[in-house]
Amino acid sequence: MRVAQSPFATEWPRFTGAVIATVIAAILGFSVPLMVQAVLDWVLLDQGAPPFRWVVALVRAAGGADAIRDRLWLPAIAIVVVTAGNGAASYLAGRWSALGAERAARQLRNTLYDHIHAVSVAYHQRSSSGDLLQRCTSDVDTVRKFFAIQLMEVGRAAAMVAVAIPVMAQLNGRLTLVAVALLPVAFWYTLHFFRNVQIAFTASDEAEGDLSALLQEHLAGLRVVRAFAREPEEYRRFTARNTTHRDVTMRLIYLLARYWAVSSWIVIVQLGAVLVVGTTFAAGGTLTVGGLLVFLMLEQMLLWPIRQMGMVLADLGKARVALGRIGEVLNAPDEDHDPVLSGGGSERPVIRGAVAFENVSFAYPDAGDGPAALHEVSFSVEEGTTVGVLGATGSGKTTMIMLLARLYDPSGGRILIDGHDITTIDRTWTRRHVAVVLQEPFLFARTIRDNISLGRSAARDAEIFAATRSAAVHDVIEGFSRGYDTPVGERGVTLSGGQKQRVAIARALVSGSPILVFDDSLSAVDTRTDARIRAALLDRQATTFLISHRATTLARCDHLLVLDRGRVVEQGAPEVLRAADGAFARVWRQQQGAADVDA
């Protein structure tokens, strides 16, 4: 992404205003030393008018140098007023640049947030979430900082150089040469240093990351550490990383110490040169005392922004890289334009829940971590049917669900819902009618009530309670001190795997979707609760897909699909399959038979 296309470009009036205000502030800032000079040289020492026309005009307007001598409070007030003007301009510059940068940053954050919801599931599976998070947070912050603070610094430094050098030159050309002699050195040294010190910064950050990672893992696995009495080894491991972090950071600090030492040296030598040469000139009469003071004050005002500018230019590269990384995220196509998917439909038919797969095939474009492939899967069920799905890991069960919820699209064949080809239906419309519960469901860091009503914000308490009772989790929730208002996660309760699954089931039930899909979502629930939930599900009129490894669960479905390496190897009524000598019969015997032997 280039700056011109970013939201920062739209804020140009604010940034322009801020830069203008900065320049005005710099000019006003320089007038104070000149006024001090006029008072010293002209009013107090009577050495004649300074070479600045506006100062002369100002003094004349106040009644001339002699009149001022008796009214010294006049220039004093003028100095305070000019400084107030300088302050007002600096304030406006700060305010405008902050406003512009923060508005643009907000816009950029919103765009990114929207986009991570708009891209396909395939994109999320391809990309690392840590990297994506970094682009959305710290990269945005790098760019924001550049516009909020550093842009002003560049403006200030440029204004100072542009104003100070002519002013100095008007006072004394030769001293000006002395006064700027070391400025390029200071600038170059800072630029060079901050470009190269990045490696040390990164090393320190990485060492810190390693330390945190170890700590996180240690705390998460604490029971195992305890149960194996591994504390001494863990302490050694921690000590090693803690030591590395300290030493690597210390290396960075030594570099910084060297930088500040050298740059202090440059500053003092530069100031000393101005003082010694200036004193010589002043003693010789080619420079006034006030002129010398002006040189000393301007020099001090110049040195800081010059060094700052080196730092800013070194950071400019970082901001450009960050913007580029953000652009990469935003350039990823959304679901309607992702070549992996087949475009978005627009129809919004009434959906009752009849589902048919016609020779559905699916192959994930770059194999890798994507879902398993499917080969010519066909089946057809009426609305209200309970469909059981059995298959080993990697047999394509989850892929089937993802296709049904339009998280992926088939590469061959058709999926029909109530006779409509799914690709002609609006993607979100389909999802509104297909409620999916994943095996490891994701709950949001908000209250349990909010989590359950996520799919239908208008859900009433009675509906929520009915759903949680069906999911056999109502009593559990009531048992929490704040009941349904208990937040989920670190700031509230940590739910067990089974509790999470049941909350997610309630969430799916509240949505009132005519098609329900449970991707092994009862696996962490004990057998008794499992049976209760299933009984409640059967009362619903929804078309229900139940993926499970439990033969007893599957045996109660209306229709069974057995998947093996992406193909349907068996399907039909459970009783029929049990009687046949197939895969389901084998699993049934393994799970059931083992019990019957000694029962």
Partner 1 sequence: MSMREDQHFQRRFDHRIWLRLLRRAREFRGTMAILAVVMILVGAADALFPLLNGIAVDRFVETGSIQGVESLAIVYAGLAFLQAFLVWALIALAGRMETGLMYRFRQDTFAHLQTLSIGYFDRTPVGWLMSRLTSDIQRLGETVAWGLVDIVWGVAMMAGIAVAMLFVHAQLAVLVLTVVPPLALVSWFFQRRILGAQRSVRRLNSEVSAAFSEGIAGAVTSKTLVREAENLREFSALTGRMRAASVRAAVFSALYMPVVLLLGSVGTSIALVAGGVRLSEGSVTIGVIVAFVGYTVQFFEPVREVARVLTELQAAQSAAERIAALLDTPPAITDRREVEDAFGTILEPHRDRWPRCHGAIRFDEVNFAYPDGEAVLDHFDLDVAAGESIALVGETGAGKSTIVNLVARFYEPTAGRILIDGADIRDRSQSWMHSQLGYVLQTPQLFAGSVAENIAFGQPEADRSAVEEAARMVDAHAMITALPGGYDHELGEGGSGLSTGQKQLLSFARAILADPRIFILDEATSSIDTDTELRIQRAIRTMLRGRTSFVIAHRLSTVRDVDRILVLEHGAIVESGSHHDLLAREGRYAALYRESMR
Residues 388-407 that bind partner 1 (CB under 8 A): 391-393, 405, 407
Nearest residue (CB) to partner 1, 256 versus 382: 256
Tell which phi-psi region holds residue 542, choosing left (phi > 0), alpha (psi between -120 and 50) or beta. Answer: beta
For the purposes of burial, counting CB atoms within 10 Å of the CB of 89, is it exposed (0-12), middle (13-18) or buried (19 or more)?
buried
Nearest residue (CB) to partner 1, 33 versus 378: 33
Tell which phi-psi region holds residue 400, choosing left (phi > 0), alpha (psi between -120 and 50) or beta. Answer: alpha
What is the number of alpha carbons within 13 Å of residue 118 lying toward its C-beta?
17
Nearest residue (CB) to partner 1, 116 versus 387: 116
- From candidates 444, 461, 541, 581, binder to partner 1 by CB under 8 A: 444
Is residue 351 part of the contact set for partner 1 (CB under 8 A)? no
**Alpha-carbon torsion 536, 539, 544, 549, what sign?**
positive
Please answer whether residues 22 and 93 qualify as being in contact, where contact means their C-beta atoms are separated by less than 8 angstroms: yes
Q: Which of residues 295-334 bind partner 1 (CB under 8 A)?
A: 296-297, 300
Q: Which of residues 547-586 bind partner 1 (CB under 8 A)?
A: 548-549, 552
Nearest residue (CB) to partner 1, 69 versus 337: 69
Please answer whether residues 505 and 444 qualify as being in contact, where contact means their C-beta atoms are separated by less than 8 angstroms: no
Is residue 590 part of the contact set for partner 1 (CB under 8 A)? yes
Beta-carbon contacts of residue 400 (< 8 Å; ≥ 6 apart): 357, 374, 377, 389, 563
Is residue 188 part of the contact set for partner 1 (CB under 8 A)? no
| Pick from 526, 529, 532, 441: nearest CA to 488 | 441
- From candidates 3, 215, 321, 535, binder to partner 1 by CB under 8 A: 215
- From candidates 419, 442, 458, 475, binder to partner 1 by CB under 8 A: 442
SS3 447: strand
Q: Which of residues 270-289 bind partner 1 (CB under 8 A)?
A: 271-272, 275-276, 279-280, 282-285, 289
Q: Which of residues 139-178 bind partner 1 (CB under 8 A)?
A: 141, 148
- From candidates 64, 109, 311, 361, binder to partner 1 by CB under 8 A: 109
Nearest residue (CB) to partner 1, 63 versus 412: 63
| Pick from 253, 254, 247, 258: nearest CA to 208 | 247
Is residue 500 part of the contact set for partner 1 (CB under 8 A)? no
- From candidates 10, 196, 527, 541, binder to partner 1 by CB under 8 A: 527
Is residue 587 part of the contact set for partner 1 (CB under 8 A)? yes
**Which amino acid makes up residue 418?**
D
Nearest residue (CB) to partner 1, 80 versus 162: 80
Nearest distance in Å: CB 53, partner 1: 22
SS3 46: coil
Nearest-angstrom CA–CA distance, 296 and 37? 11
**Site map 221..250 versus partner 1, x via CB under 8 A:** xxxx-xxxxxxxxxx--xx--xx-xx--xx
Nearest distance in Å: CB 359, partner 1: 25
Is residue 455 part of the contact set for partner 1 (CB under 8 A)? yes
Nearest-angstrom CA–CA distance, 342 and 83? 65
Nearest distance in Å: CB 259, partner 1: 9
Nearest residue (CB) to partner 1, 9 versus 220: 220
Which token pair is 70? 């008796």
Nearest-angstrom CA–CA distance, 502 and 488? 14
How many residues make contact with partner 1 (CB under 8 A)? Answer: 158
Span near partner 1 by CB under 8 A; candidates 66-74, 159-167, 170-178, 189-197? 66-74
Nearest distance in Å: CB 263, partner 1: 9
Nearest residue (CB) to partner 1, 245 versus 559: 245
Nearest residue (CB) to partner 1, 498 versus 514: 498
DSSP at 483: G
Beta-carbon contacts of residue 415 (< 8 Å; ≥ 6 apart): 355, 356, 357, 358, 360, 403, 404, 421, 422
- From candidates 165, 169, 185, 293, binder to partner 1 by CB under 8 A: 293
Is residue 217 part of the contact set for partner 1 (CB under 8 A)? yes
DSSP at 425: B
Longest alpha-carbon distance in the chain: 121
Span near partner 1 by CB under 8 A; candidates 67-75, 160-168, 189-197, 305-313? 67-75
